[in-house]
Amino acid sequence: MNQSVADTHFDVVKDNRMLVNITSLSRKSETTRPYETHGIAHGNAELKQEEIAQPKKDALLRHFVESVPAAFAILDTEMRYLAVSQRFLADHLISENDLIGRSHYDIFQETPLSWREFHKRGLAGETIRHEDPLSLSGGGADVVRWDIKPWFEAGKIGGIFIFSEIVNNNANNEKELQLAAMVFHGCGEAMMITDAGNRIVAVNPAFERITGYQNKDVIGQNPSLLNSDRHDSAYYRAIGQAIHGTGRWQGECWNRRQNGEIFSVSATVSTLFNSDGSVHRRVAIFSDITHKKEAEKLIWQQANLDSLTGLPNRRLFREHLSQEIRIARQADLPLALMFLDLDGFKYVNDTLGHDVGDILLVEAANRLQACVRKTDHVARLGGDEFTVIVSNLPDSASVERIARNILKKLSEPFILGNEVAYVSASIGITLCPNDAAEIEELLKNADQAMYAAKQQGRNRLCFFTQSMQEAAQVKRRLVNDLRDAIERNEFQLVYQPIVELATGIVRKAEVLIRWNHPSRGPISPAEFIPVAEETGMIHEIGEWVFREAADQALQWKNLHHPEFKVSINMSPVQFRRPDRDGAAWADYLDAIGLPGKNIVIEITEGLLLDASPEVTSQLLAFREKGITIALDDFGTGYSSLSYLKKFSIDYLKIDQSFVRSLAQDNDDMVLCEAIIVMAHKLGIKVIAEGVETEKQRSLLTTSGCDYAQGYFFSEPVFADKFDAYIETRTHVGEHIFYI
Ligand code: C2E
Ligand code: CA
Ligand code: CA
């Protein structure tokens, strides 16, 4: 077999009779061991080598090499490229200028062809099979198998690379490569490929679009150029460790665009390994999830933060509390839970408007936060209710200090635009684990303690005590019993006469409810009405009272006098029922045939303060029906003259507290007189409550008070006793009954 490579691969016939000699391509002229170049006869005539001129041979050879439709390259003894086919250039994505004259090892650093092996086996005349990863012009990469033939010059060895085959080459593979290229370029997700040295070697158009960096800006750079300061170095170190350890990482992180903007990505990093296990490439794929993140954040905020103050809301507060309870248990350090309710906030809201009220709440939230440590949690449960979790509590004295400071800070004036407002706070405090260790119990405790602080006169703090719990238990039992009371007919109505002072005639009766509890006996409405209001049971009770009282009024209208009135107490809560039908009571009166003028509705001052459109329209409906309105407990609330006029009140009931200590020339006397004069000026009649003595009666009579009720005349009594009472008075003849 011939040692020369030329015989096999370069003895090429052109136009049927051309021979070429590889030596002519050599840039070195001296030839220590000339190649034997064999002519191969084609056709009938054999052409002698000398017959072809050397320059022509060179040109022909070059022409041949360039145009041969296979990947093909000739390297000199220093492994520098001498000549290559066009196909070789195309397959390697390299230009002739970049290749010719340069060392194979400079250009294709990764080709793991051992020179020594090539030399050794080449000298023995062996053809070497070499597999080489090759980027294909269609995109993608594949392993290409080469035949490398040695050739010799001055004892040195050169090489001829001849493309043999693409390993596993088949149509599918080619398609897959095309597909991969398409995906890379057309993918909506950013792709970034780095080499083993963590230098970026390729990025796709989506990367350019998302990051703002152009291909040329990033090739050769470290991917850390995308890092943002949203994460510390430990975070990036952890990602690096995951990638080095497993070759993969998946997660979300905040990056920085070229314009400095921070954006969030969901990313996957995977690694392409060489056959020896070393890293060949890493591929990072990421998509921009900033909008998604922002939407998520918004949803989170809406679910967890109070939109007015930005404080955690009830939901997040509960989460924080259960977290802190867990920590307190583990660290054996107590925590305190405070419930805080602003006193007088409602008044600010009603008099200065909700917008001003909102500013006050925001300011109150700021003051609260300034009173606690960063690690404590302030939350707004709604309205003017706040909570504070004070964790890591060294002793209960320190929470008292904090609470006192809060009281002080909240009672300072609030400057709200042009207005100055004053509020205070009632604070309930419970300790974990001292009072309770469970979330629900702590909430209940703090609430009870807060309620106690309110009861004790506001602007104060109250620690939870066991007796509060007992009181709460009593209340809970009361609630349960109240539920059954209507069905079990445990309620009764009593009536207290209302006497016209000038004549002594009983003109009206106030109806008052009694609860005859099966085990506790009679329970005062002052005890159970607030509970019924709180639980909403007042609606059912109120309806029952109205119908019973109307039925009674009908009887008395017929029995005593066509103008006789029964006065019914109506809780503000009854007005607030959303499904309340204003006409329902009027319909009932129509059904039983009782004119509205025989009914008086007693309302409280608070209702007018808080008068919503529903309250106003309900009062109007009463008026249209001819029902009269009395303002109960006058003088204890915030009523102003403007309310009295606005809501056309018929009667004012002076509260018992003024009547009780009535004496000639004392303050209460002056007040009563003033109320009477003022009411008369507004066309309003006055009823004095709680008249117990003859002295009170006579003072009120001389002051011009219109009506009076109280133990002096009669206690509230059952209807039959009421009739008897009237009977007696008429018999005695002391007072004339109905003239
Ligand atoms: P109120 O409307 O101010 O009723 C007057 C209260 O004073 C009644 O107490 C009555 O028994 C009591 N009283 C009457 N005369 C005198 C007196 O000379 N001296 C003293 N010290 N007290 C006198 P009662 O019946 O315990 O009712 C307490 C409150 O419960 C009532 O105060 C009213 O606000 C509420 N209430 C009673 N019945 C009803 C009802 O049917 N519906 C609603 N919503 N509230 C009711
Ligand atoms: Ca009343
Ligand atoms: Ca009253």
Domains of the chain with bracketed CATH: 49-167 (3.30.450.20), 173-294 (3.30.450.20), 305-464 (3.30.70.270), 478-728 (3.20.20.450)
Q: How far apart are CA 35 and CA 630, in angstroms?
A: 130
Write out the two tokens for 713.
Answer: 């005349």
Which atom from ligand 1 is nearest to the alpha carbon of 633? 3
Q: What is the pLDDT of residue 430?
A: 96
Of 532-536, 571-575, 613-617, 694-698, the one with minimum mean pLDDT is: 613-617
Residue 525 — very low, low, confident or very high, per pLDDT cuts 50/70/90? very high
Partners of 254 in beta bridges = 264
Ligand 3 centroid, distance to 571 Cα (angstroms): 12
Q: What is the percent of the chain with per-residue pLDDT over 90, rounded to a whole number?
A: 53
pLDDT tens figures, 91-100:
776 778 888 8
Q: Of the bound ligands, which one is closest to the alpha carbon of residue 653?
A: 3
Of 530-544, 590-604, 634-648, 700-714, the one with minimum mean pLDDT is: 634-648
* Residue with CA closest to ligand 1 atom 43: 569
Q: What is the pLDDT of residue 138?
A: 44
DSSP 199-238: -EEEE-HHHHHHH---HHHHTTS-GGGGB-TTS-HHHHHH
Contact assessment for residue 532 and residue 483, using Cβ atoms and an 8 Å cutoff? no
Asked whether residue 677 carries a pLDDT value surpassing 50, the answer given is: yes
pLDDT tens figures, 112-147:
556 667 777 777 777 887 776 654 444 445 666 778
Ligand 3 centroid, distance to 605 Cα (angstroms): 11
Q: How far apart are CA 424 and CA 408, in angstroms?
A: 8
* Residue with CA closest to ligand 1 atom 27: 525
* Residue with CA closest to ligand 1 atom 21: 690
Residue 345: strand, helix, or coil: helix
pLDDT tens figures, 156-189:
788 888 877 666 545 566 677 778 888 888 888 9
Runs of H (alpha helix) within 372-456: 396-411, 439-455
> How high is the mean pLDDT of the chain?
84
Average pLDDT over residues 356-373: 96
Q: What is the pLDDT of residue 142?
A: 61
Q: How far apart are CA 562 and CA 548, in angstroms?
A: 18
pLDDT tens figures, 538-560:
999 999 999 999 999 999 999 98
Contact assessment for residue 517 and residue 481, using Cβ atoms and an 8 Å cutoff? yes
| Buried b or exposed e, range 87-96, using 16+ CB within 10 angstroms | bbbebbebee
Nearest Cα neighbor of 635 from 654, 607, 611 is 654
Asked whether residue 321 carries a pLDDT value surpassing 80, the answer given is: yes
pLDDT tens figures, 464-483:
999 988 888 888 899 999 98
Asked whether residue 460 carries a pLDDT value surpassing 50, the answer given is: yes
To test ligand 1's pocket by mutation, which of 512, 566, 662 has the most ligand atoms within 8 angstroms of CB?
A: 512
Complete edge-to-edge strand list for the sheet that includes strand 72-75: 81-84, 72-75, 156-166, 141-153, 128-135
pLDDT tens figures, 199-224:
998 899 999 999 999 988 998 899 99
Q: What is the pLDDT of residue 564?
A: 96
Please give the span between the terminal C-alpha atoms of the chain, in angstroms, as a whole number.
153
Q: Of the bound ligands, which one is closest to the alpha carbon of residue 547?
A: 1
CB atoms within 10 A of CB 702: 11
Write out the two tokens for 292.
Answer: 């998604």
Cα-based distances in Å from 557 to 83, 192, 378, 562: 127, 94, 59, 5
Tell the residue number behind the tokens 């602007």, with chain if given: 459
* Residue with CA closest to ligand 1 atom 42: 569
Ramachandran category for residue 687: left, alpha or beta (phi over 0 → left; psi -120 to 50 → alpha):
beta
Asked whether residue 37 carries a pLDDT value surpassing 60, the answer given is: no
Average pLDDT over residues 270-285: 87
pLDDT tens figures, 621-658:
999 999 999 999 998 876 667 778 788 899 999 999 99
Ligand 2 centroid, distance to 604 Cα (angstroms): 9
Partners of 523 in beta bridges = 515
Contact assessment for residue 258 and residue 203, using Cβ atoms and an 8 Å cutoff? no
To test ligand 1's pocket by mutation, which of 569, 574, 691 has the most ligand atoms within 8 angstroms of CB?
A: 569
| Sign of the Cα pseudo-torsion (553, 558, 561, 562, in order) | positive
Of 125-129, 507-511, 563-567, 733-737, the one with minimum mean pLDDT is: 733-737
Q: Which element (helix H / strand E) includes 420? A: strand 419-421
**378 phi, psi to nearest 5 deg:** -105, 135
* Residue with CA closest to ligand 1 atom 45: 569
155 or 100: which leads in pLDDT: 100
Q: What is the pLDDT of residue 173?
A: 65
Contact assessment for residue 571 and residue 580, using Cβ atoms and an 8 Å cutoff? no
Q: Which element (helix H / strand E) includes 109? A: none
Q: What is the pLDDT of residue 62?
A: 77
| Buried b or exposed e, range 149-174, using 16+ CB within 10 angstroms | bbbbbeeebbbbbbbbebeeeeeeee
Asked whether residue 406 carries a pLDDT value surpassing 70, the answer given is: yes
Tell the residue number behind the tokens 């409280």, with chain if given: 604
pLDDT tens figures, 66-88:
777 778 888 888 888 888 888 78
Which atom from ligand 1 is nearest to the alpha carbon of 602? 2
369 or 121: which leads in pLDDT: 369
* Residue with CA closest to ligand 1 atom 37: 512
Which atom from ligand 1 is nearest to the alpha carbon of 655? 3
Write out the two tokens for 161.
Answer: 């690379």
Residue 36 — very low, low, confident or very high, per pLDDT cuts 50/70/90? very low
Average pLDDT over residues 272-293: 89
Residue 48 — very low, low, confident or very high, per pLDDT cuts 50/70/90? low
269 or 647: which leads in pLDDT: 269
Q: Of the bound ligands, which one is closest to the alpha carbon of residue 525?
A: 1
Within 6 A (CB) of ligand 1 lie 496, 512-513, 524-526, 529, 545, 569-571, 632-633, 656, 690, 692, 710-711, 716
Ligand 3 centroid, distance to 677 Cα (angstroms): 20
Q: Which element (helix H / strand E) includes 364? A: helix 354-371
Nearest Cα neighbor of 399 from 479, 351, 337, 329 is 337
Average pLDDT over residues 39-53: 50
Average pLDDT over residues 663-690: 91
Ligand 2 centroid, distance to 514 Cα (angstroms): 14
Residue 285: strand, helix, or coil: strand
* Residue with CA closest to ligand 1 atom 15: 710
